[in-house]
Amino acid sequence: MIEIERKEDVTIIKLDNPPVNAICTELLDELDEKLNEVENDESRVAIVTGKGKAFVGGADIKEMKDMDPGEAREFSQKGQSILNRIENLSKPVIAAVNGFALGGGTEVAMSCDFIIASEKAKFGQPEVGLGLIPGFGGTQRLSRLIGMGPAKELIFTGKNIDAEEAKRLGLANHVVEADELMDFSLEIAQEISSNAPLALQYAKSSMNEGYEVPLDEGLKIESEQFERCFKTEDQKEGCEAFIEKREPEFKGE
Active site residue 107: yes
Q: What phi, psi does 135 have (nearest 5°)? A: -120, -5
Instruction: Report CA torsion sign: 15, 16, 20, 23.
Output: negative
Active site residue 153: no
Q: How far apart are the first and last CA of the chain?
A: 34
Strands 122-124 and 100-102: what pairing? Answer: parallel
Q: Which of 5, 127, 191, 224 is catalytic?
A: 127
CA 12/CA 202 separation, integer angstroms: 22
CA 81/CA 105 separation, integer angstroms: 15
DSSP codes joined into one string, 45-91: EEEEEESSSEEE--B-HHHHTT--HHHHHHHHHHHHHHHHHHHT-SS
Q: Which stretch of DSSP H or E encloses residue 110? A: helix 104-111
Instruction: Kindly provide the residue ranges of all beta strands, DSSP E only, lying in 126-217, ordered along the sequence.
Output: 160-162, 174-176
Return the axis-axis angle of helices 215-229 and 197-210, rounded to nearest 10°. Answer: 170
CA 80/CA 167 separation, integer angstroms: 24
Q: Which of 3, 71, 107, 227 is catalytic?
A: 107
CA 160/CA 177 separation, integer angstroms: 19
Q: At 47, which amino acid appears?
A: I
Q: Please identify every residue annotated as catalytic.
A: 107, 127
